[in-house]
Amino acid sequence: MSATRPRPSRIGDALAQVGACGLFLFQLIGAIPKSLRHIKETIRQVWFVGAMSLVIIMTCGLFVGMVLGLQLYDVLSRFGSAAMSGTVVALALYRELGPVVTALLFAGRAGTSITAEIGLMRATDQLAAMEMMAVDPLAYVATPRFLAGIVAMPLLVCVFNALAILGAHVVCVTWLGLDNGTFWSNMTTNVDVWTDVVNGVWKSAAFGAVVALIAVFQGYTTPPTSEGVAYATTRTVVFSSIAVLALDFVMTAFLT
Amino acid sequence: MSAANAPERTDALVQVRGLSTELNGKTIFDRLDLDVPRGKITAIMGPSGTGKTTLLRHITGQLMPDAGEIRVDGHNVPTLARGELFDLREKIGYLFQNSALLTDFTVFENVAFPLRQHLKLPEEILRNIVLTKLQAVGLRGAAELMPSELSGGMARRVALARAIVRDPMLILYDEPFVGLDPIALNQILKLIRTLNDTLGITSILVAHEFAAVGRAADHVYLIAGGKVAAQGTPAELARGESDWTRQFFGGEADGPVPFQYPARDYAADLGFPPSGRTERAR
């Protein structure tokens, strides 16, 4: 005879996950003072999630800039405004594309590796071993990765934007014949450091925090099995992508 | 430390009273009582799945019991705050069943990890301590290897070096002899005994190898059915005076410990007329 059990609700489960993730965020913030004792570990993680993501960020940035340059030059030429190509590319990158595309790439490259690494540490009792050595894994493992995400993302966005503008310059100036001085002078005149560049940096730091939080949470709470780690890694990419795009809308609404 | 957690010094370093635990609907411990005397090696034995590792997790506060008291050096572990628990764990060494080495670090850094985290030792002293412990487990030459380059037995010896690196008051060994060749097993047995005799360290040894346990342990608890089924010196238990000890140490399928997991009628499961026999847990 089986006892009657309430059927699990998908919406209920999802809300419970969001609530648990929120509580986990408070635990991470609470562990920051203790994690500063492991500052070397945080720096190592910035290197790991930041520098190790550079190749994919630079490559994608270059191609995104080249595509943007090609499309915008073509469209703006129809209105006699091809000279504004550099400006529009820069505005699109600084305000939206740079932070969003970098965050999505960051979730795929660094987020998944954070989840898989922490998940495997749980599955192989490494986190339990730290607990037994009186070392708090939240402060030693989770928080440094969370902080690394916040630090690394704005830096990666800067690199992404720089390479994208270089790509747009190659297409618009070198290939399509736009005047070099026009490309740069229009851009520097019309792009505002505070409203365009700095807002993009805020966004990228927020996206870094969200992606790193989801990645660390999924790894930390994964069932200690190979199947559990696989699902957690997938969830990191899916949830991070949705969260980044939703947060982008909210932040854009407030920052513009 | 709160008044409720004030340590009470007794002859037993670990005292378990009325421990009851249920995991996934299965009773693991049913008002279990046992004492681990200071400075002695106490072995915990029992059939697979009887809760030996769970008992170690209770003692170290990794798992909270449903009821009962677990006192370690006088502190009631289930009531300790996280900071107090960490203070207590600094005095405990734990050898995990699967070694649980940190895969990012070399053998040397794995053993040095507890020292680096808790003590500000000059690098030269730290290096000497780590190399001394690695020498004790026969792996000084493997100091620069990564855990992925070690065999299972070597990883276990590195984990043992890490467990003893701070000369703890209590060491918990969870299956320390699995995967060791006879030479390594003999050396590890000697090491466990030496640590105990020279430093007065208390040890709890969870193992299945009675021959090895008999050479190292001062006292043995046989746990089955959630309770202490038998206890005594290895020599007393080896005489097999109870059904439990006779079956366990004789390796017999029939006895108080069922070999078969609870199941429905075997004949019916194979599609034959029911024989009326079911496998049940006792």
Give the tens place of pLDDT for each residue, B219-252: 999 888 888 888 888 888 877 677 777 777 777 7
Question: Is the ipTM beyond the 0.95 threshold?
Answer: no
Q: Which of A126, A134, A140 sits opposite B118 (nearest CB)?
A: A134
Structure tokens at A87: 């400006």
Which positions 203-232 of A are in contact with B (Cβ < 8 Å)? none
Res B3 pLDDT > 50: no
Instruction: Provide φ and ψ at B32, rounded to 5°.
Output: -80, 135
Contact A153/A106 with Cβ under 8 angstroms?
Answer: yes
Structure tokens at B126: 């730290």
Mutation target among B60, B102, B175 for the A interface, most CBs of A within 10 A: B102
Residues B36-50, mean pLDDT to the nearest whole number = 89
Residues B143-161, mean pLDDT to the nearest whole number = 91
CB contact under 8 A, A132 and B90: no
What is the rounded CA–CA span in Å between residue A148 and residue A139? Answer: 13
Give first-to-last CA distance, chain A, whole Å: 61
Total CB pairs under 8 A between chain A and B? 46
DSSP state for residue B67 in the 8-state scheme: E
**B83 CB-near residues (< 8 Å, 6+ apart):** none
What is the rounded CA–CA span in Å between residue B139 and residue B107? Answer: 9
Tell me how far the alpha carbon of residue B272 is from its chain's centroid.
Answer: 44
Res A203 pLDDT > 80: yes
CB contact under 8 A, A134 and B117: yes
User: Of A117, A106, A116, A120, which is closest to residue A52 (Cα–Cα)?
Assistant: A106
Q: What residues does each domain of chain A span?
A: 35-255
Which region among A110-124, B16-30, B48-62, B234-248 has the lowest average model confidence (pLDDT)?
Answer: B234-248
Hunting for tokens 């046989």 — which residue is that? B222
Going by their DSSP bridges, the two strands B26-37 and B12-23 should be labelled as antiparallel
Q: Greater confidence, A243 or B98?
A: A243
**B160 CB-near residues (< 8 Å, 6+ apart):** B95, B137, B173, B176, B188, B191
